[in-house]
Structure 1
Amino acid sequence: MNEAEIALECYESIAEAMEYYENEHYFAGLVLMNTLLEKYPKQADALSLKGLLMWNLGYKDEGYQFARKGFEYDPKSSACWRSYGYMLTQDSRVKESLEYYKKAAELSEFTDIETTNEYACVQTHLRMYSEALETRKKLLYQLHNEPSFWIGTGVLCYLLDQPEIAAKVFDSYCDTLMETSSEYDQSEVLLFYTDILEKQEKYQDALDHLEKIKDVVKDQRSWKEKQAYLLEKTGNIELAETTYRQLIYENPYDSRYINSLLAVKGYNKDNMRTWARNLLLNLMKSYPRSNTIADISLNYATPDEFSLEVKDIIQKSLRKGVPSLFARLKKYYRDTEKKDTIEEIMLGLVRKLENSGSFDGNAKDSREPPTALLWSLYYIAQHYDFLGDREKALDYIQKAINHTPTIVELYMTQARILKHQGDLETAARVMNRARKLDLQDRFVNSKCTKYMMRAGYIVKAKELFKMFLGKRTNTRKSLLDMQCQWFILEEGLAYLKKENYAKAIDRFLTIDSFYNDFKDNEFGIHSYCLHKNTLRTYVKLLKWEDTLRKHPYYIKAAKGAIKAYLALDAAQKLDATEEGANRRLNSVLQEDGELSDTQDKETKYVETTTPLEDALKFLEPLQRVAPDLLETHALGFEVYLRKEQWHLSRRCLIAMAEINKSHPSFLICKEMFEKTVSSKSMEENALLKKLKNLNLLDVSSL
């Protein structure tokens, strides 16, 4: 056979195998590729496709090996580089895939549409918006009638703060959109175009556009919200007020609409409180069932009005037996006068209920239900707990329990007060008593689990958690499947408290892996949203992903992991002898006399030779997402000081001083820095000497 015939045979076999691959008949495709490779063992595209088929059959390592052989035999094969990049993205190794997709796109001179599109998605995922925009432009040049390419280009311009260019892109596409897209697609794209005009601060143009597309838009609630905002921005106050009133009519429980109405009327200023109050009272007459309006109205009430109205709210809630009354009223505690008024009312009601059983204190014919006193005592217990007076809080909650000893909420609140007091063991026992009152309540069970964990009863906490797992016997797998962050975090903190650093680090790394999963799962969204035209949601998702690690669970896990690694670093310096190290390792791996089922992995954590470098993997994202927390910089200070990175540790000190220079942690760190630096020999440490000469180590002025 000549070269042309061989090439034709290979092409036909690979095309047939690709058809098998697309129909998910991976084994049949693999058989075909094996047959071809027996004749031509160095056929690059066949090797690459074989790797892809094996990867899909679960033989991932072998799949990568064959795919790599493909571009090693033929470095100029775009398909080989793309296949390898594709497998990496599917294995959530998007950052690694970038170089392979780049090579594949360059080899095809950006003429392979699928490769170039996937390359743009990888760049977008890695937030390389400028580079992704250039790639999208190349796609448009190749296929200018594909809607998703126009949309992708416009969205990237928007994300790059180039709304003028984004508007031109969508202007070019809108005519095609109206002819070919569904009504929903048209609605979403046209609403997003309004956002583009708004970003240019062309509020009147955006408003005109919004009016033009009214009949096309499917999401009428979003349309009205945007209309109200743009009317306000363009000075059409009366029309904006009308629109906000329509939104309140549709949903009188949304505080955004009510506050926006006050703002558009100019009633949110201190000198307009009376006007605001009258407006809200009129709204209350129209929507008497809206607690939201009533609550906002109290913010503008005079002291006498507040006293009368909050008393009415309290009495109605106590009659109905509303346990969440304190949660509703505690927002007023920011105002000392309002807080004192509520306290006076509640204490007065308790006295009257105890003496006469009524709110007025003397009317024999208007006795309140017995539960009114119960919920009054319950409220005051929460009130004093919130104010930090634990003794009074415990006294009142005990009175409530004595009144009716069968209410779950009473014991839960008693446990919470004890927790705030620092008595974690008693708090756990009381919460367990609450759990036993209602064994079917998952929420109470979870609370009890958390309290047990914080008291150090880890095994007992796990047993309680298992009760609601049903037939699933593998607790660890269930936790991972459900991504149950709160339990794994509490478990990690409990192990950290017990100085069981291996298990603590394992749990904190598990939390970190969840956030990596969230980020990895974003990859498929890039092409999906551009095809489905959910552009507003897509942009919100990207911005949300960028702030994802600001979640309190992640911040707590990161801080816990850094503390564990710092403790390991200190332990390694103390346990210089082999006997001491072995003794510490054994103590770390034991849990109530039983070896952990993940012992090998946990052993690796405590045997790390680079605990400070491992700590940096948590510290760096923590510094990005929580720079306003003093503890972030305190942990950073300690890590950098131990690594003898003096300028970075000093930078952390400066950040701490900016937050609170009178905080004990700052004062301790400052003293530690001065002592450490002064104890080092300048002659032995050239960097330290240089920093000293440049006056970059002086912290006396902080």
Structure 2
Amino acid sequence: MARVRWLTTMMCGGFHGSRRRLTDGASSVVSALPTVLENPSPPKSSFNEKSYETKQYKKGLKAADTILKKFPDHGETLSMKGLTLNCMDRKSEAYELVRQGLKNDLKSHVCWHVYGLLYRSGREYREAIKCYRNALRINPDNIEILQDLSLLQVQMRDLAGFFETRQQLLSLKSNHRMNWIGFVVAHHLNSNALKAVEILKAYEGTLEDDFPPDNERCEHGEMLLYKISLLEEPGSIERALDELHKKEPKIVDKLAFKEQEVSLLVKLGCFEEGATLFKALLSMNPDNYGYYEGLHKCVELYYENGQYSPDQIEQLELLYNSLRQQYTWYSAVKRIPLDFLQGVRFREAAENYIRPFLTKGVPSLFTDLSPLYDHPGKVQVMLCHTVFQADILKELIIELEHAVRNSGQFPRRYIEMISLEQFLTTFVVEAFRMEECISLIFIYISCFVFSDKGI
């Protein structure tokens, strides 16, 4: 959708009811009117175009007043003066002047267009559309009015009307790329992606073989990526991948190219190639959580509910141990394992993750950890359907705070800070082989013996 918004912006020059957009839209109205000094006769006179476009509103008002002294009932000048006052936050006067100008010249498409711009600045979009349609009845082929109308039709979700308007703009100016893109977007919004692809192909057929030139390479590459997404949407995955490889030399955004390629590969079930590409993407941005999620899918260890079997947890732990060796200084490889680890392993990983952030005083740490409270086993340890008082995250934070407050440093061994009952309760849940259980209990007892002797 981000690419659709970019293309729509390129197509129409953006949409918003702000003063800046109003100025851009009104400049097309002013461009249809000559300056004061060229011809001061009532049917064609208006204030200086440059004063409005450069936001020199006081100068524009003086020029308008000069004309109105000679022709006080000139509708177009009254309307444009009202539009200028609207940009100076004198809205009540603006509406009064624009209505007076329209009353004096009901057959002027400029007056209706200005009235529509005034309504749009007040976010009264339906009334603005009515004014634009009245202006088009007088001047049906006015490009600027059609463009402004299409913007409001998208805003109001009038997709059928938007389609008709963009089709008319393409028929009037078929040599402009933005009109082709606009017609494509109109088909796409009307749920006809394959037809949109055909139109893009027709547009590419009008281009020269050496297109695009250097100054248009980025925009052309974005259009090609949009075309790939249109092929992907109805399920033509193989066709989209072939087209992507075919157009690779003309796509400037190589990162977007790789992301699109790996997305198509995963949908086709090419997990080995997908995993290789995701690892390449991780080398470019190791803090992108989406790449890790994609890598999980490629190694078939992704579940939306986050419920993993013990074997799957072991595999994920091995994967992140290897990734941690490559991306030691990045937080994502340390944070993501907290979502699937349990018990003692979770506590150890959580402490390793929390300590550096506490040392640096990162205020967003606890916001980052808050989703872990939705996972059973992260907060409390359960054994035989009995909940023991072992709130892992809570106790960990309290212990770290207590150690820093009393000794000014973090505890040397997190295992010394928990009771034997908590350790055994937590470990029985995590230990799957008796040999591991016996060896770790021995290590635990040894730690207490040595610590008592001051070693």
Return the TM-score normalized by structure 1: 0.45
Alignment gaps of 5+ in structure 1 = 1-6, 359-367, 381-702
The alignment status of 1:286 with 2:326, answered yes or no, reads: yes
Shift of 1:243: 0.6
1:10 matched residue in structure 2: 42
Q: How does 1:562-577 map to 2 (within 5 A)?
A: none
The one of 339, 347, 351 aligned to 1:314: 351
Write out per-residue CA displacement over residues 446-493 of structure 1, whole angstroms, 9 at most, x where no aligned residue: xxxxxxxxxxxxxxxxxxxxxxxxxxxxxxxxxxxxxxxxxxxxxxxx
Q: CA RMSD in A?
A: 3.8
1:44 matched residue in structure 2: 75
CA gap of 1:39–1:176, structure 2 versus 1, over 3 A, is same
CA distance in 2, matches of 1:222, 1:184: 12
Q: How does 1:394-409 map to 2 (within 5 A)?
A: none
Structure 2 SS opposite 1:371: coil
1:244 matched residue in structure 2: 278
Contact 2:40 2:67 in 1 (8 A): no
The alignment status of 1:142 with 2:142, answered yes or no, reads: no
CA gap of 1:371–1:80, structure 2 versus 1, over 3 A, is same
Contact 1:85 1:97 in 2 (8 A): yes
2:240 matched residue in structure 1: 206
Shift of 1:218: 3.3
The one of 174, 184, 188 aligned to 2:218: 184
2:110 matched residue in structure 1: 79
1:164 matched residue in structure 2: 194
Write out per-residue CA displacement over residues 301-349 of structure 1, whole angstroms, 9 at most, x where no aligned residue: 5x5xx51463265268559854667656554444444433564698699
CA gap of 1:309–1:285, structure 2 versus 1, over 3 A, is farther
CA gap of 1:205–1:34, structure 2 versus 1, over 3 A, is same
Contact 2:346 2:378 in 1 (8 A): no
CA distance in 2, matches of 1:275, 1:86: 61
CA gap of 1:197–1:40, structure 2 versus 1, over 3 A, is same
Amino acid at match of 1:125: Q
Shift of 1:118: 1.1
Shift of 1:30: 4.3
2:410 matched residue in structure 1: 372
Amino acid at match of 1:126: M
CA distance in 2, matches of 1:347, 1:318: 14
Q: How does 1:318-397 map to 2 (within 5 A)?
A: 318=355, 321-322=358-359, 331-341=371-381, 343=391, 370-372=408-410
Contact 2:347 2:392 in 1 (8 A): no
Contact 1:157 1:163 in 2 (8 A): yes
CA distance in 1, matches of 2:132, 2:44: 25
CA distance in 2, matches of 1:189, 1:19: 34
CA gap of 1:73–1:313, structure 2 versus 1, over 3 A, is closer
Contact 1:353 1:373 in 2 (8 A): no
2:98 matched residue in structure 1: 67
CA distance in 1, matches of 2:200, 2:348: 56
Contact 2:378 2:393 in 1 (8 A): no
2:437 matched residue in structure 1: none
2:131 matched residue in structure 1: 100
CA distance in 2, matches of 1:157, 1:134: 10
CA gap of 1:260–1:23, structure 2 versus 1, over 3 A, is closer
The alignment status of 1:88 with 2:119, answered yes or no, reads: yes
Write out per-residue CA displacement over residues 333-380 of structure 1, whole angstroms, 9 at most, x where no aligned residue: 4444443356469869989999xx89xxxxxxxxx9533269x9xx99
Write out per-residue CA displacement over residues 58-93 of structure 1, whole angstroms, 9 at most, x where no aligned residue: 543333223212322332221110011112223444
- Equivalenced residue count is 355
Amino acid at match of 1:151: I
Higher relative contact order (CA 8 A, sep 6+): 2
CA distance in 1, matches of 2:344, 2:97: 78
The one of 333, 336, 343 aligned to 1:296: 336
Amino acid at match of 2:110: A
Contact 1:42 1:73 in 2 (8 A): yes
CA distance in 1, matches of 2:401, 2:411: 6
CA gap of 1:258–1:69, structure 2 versus 1, over 3 A, is same
CA gap of 1:280–1:50, structure 2 versus 1, over 3 A, is closer
- Segment of structure 1 superposing worse, 257-266 or 209-218: 209-218
1:154 matched residue in structure 2: 184
Write out per-residue CA displacement over residues 122-172 of structure 1, whole angstroms, 9 at most, x where no aligned residue: 222222222112111111111111222222222232223221222123223
The one of 195, 214, 217 aligned to 2:251: 217
Q: How does 1:441-456 map to 2 (within 5 A)?
A: none
Amino acid at match of 1:314: E
Q: How does 1:474-489 map to 2 (within 5 A)?
A: none
2:293 matched residue in structure 1: 259
CA distance in 1, matches of 2:353, 2:64: 77
CA distance in 1, matches of 2:178, 2:395: 65
Return the TM-score normalized by structure 2: 0.66
Contact 2:400 2:410 in 1 (8 A): no
- Segment of structure 1 superposing worse, 61-70 or 222-231: 61-70
Contact 1:27 1:57 in 2 (8 A): no
CA distance in 1, matches of 2:50, 2:396: 81
Write out per-residue CA displacement over residues 239-259 of structure 1, whole angstroms, 9 at most, x where no aligned residue: 111111111222222222112
CA distance in 1, matches of 2:110, 2:392: 77
CA distance in 1, matches of 2:293, 2:283: 14
CA gap of 1:86–1:266, structure 2 versus 1, over 3 A, is same
CA distance in 1, matches of 2:65, 2:375: 78
Structure 2 SS opposite 1:243: helix
CA distance in 1, matches of 2:83, 2:71: 18
CA distance in 1, matches of 2:393, 2:68: 87
CA gap of 1:315–1:231, structure 2 versus 1, over 3 A, is closer
Structure 2 SS opposite 1:339: coil
Write out per-residue CA displacement over residues 172-214 of structure 1, whole angstroms, 9 at most, x where no aligned residue: 3335673466122112222222221111221112212222333
Amino acid at match of 2:262: A
Structure 1 SS opposite 2:250: coil
Alignment gaps of 5+ in structure 2 = 1-38, 382-389, 419-455
Contact 1:321 1:372 in 2 (8 A): no
Write out per-residue CA displacement over residues 207-236 of structure 1, whole angstroms, 9 at most, x where no aligned residue: 122223333333332222211110111222
CA distance in 1, matches of 2:369, 2:90: 60
CA gap of 1:373–1:99, structure 2 versus 1, over 3 A, is same
CA gap of 1:347–1:74, structure 2 versus 1, over 3 A, is closer
1:276 matched residue in structure 2: 316
1:122 matched residue in structure 2: 152
CA distance in 2, matches of 1:206, 1:332: 38
- Segment of structure 1 superposing worse, 144-153 or 111-120: 144-153
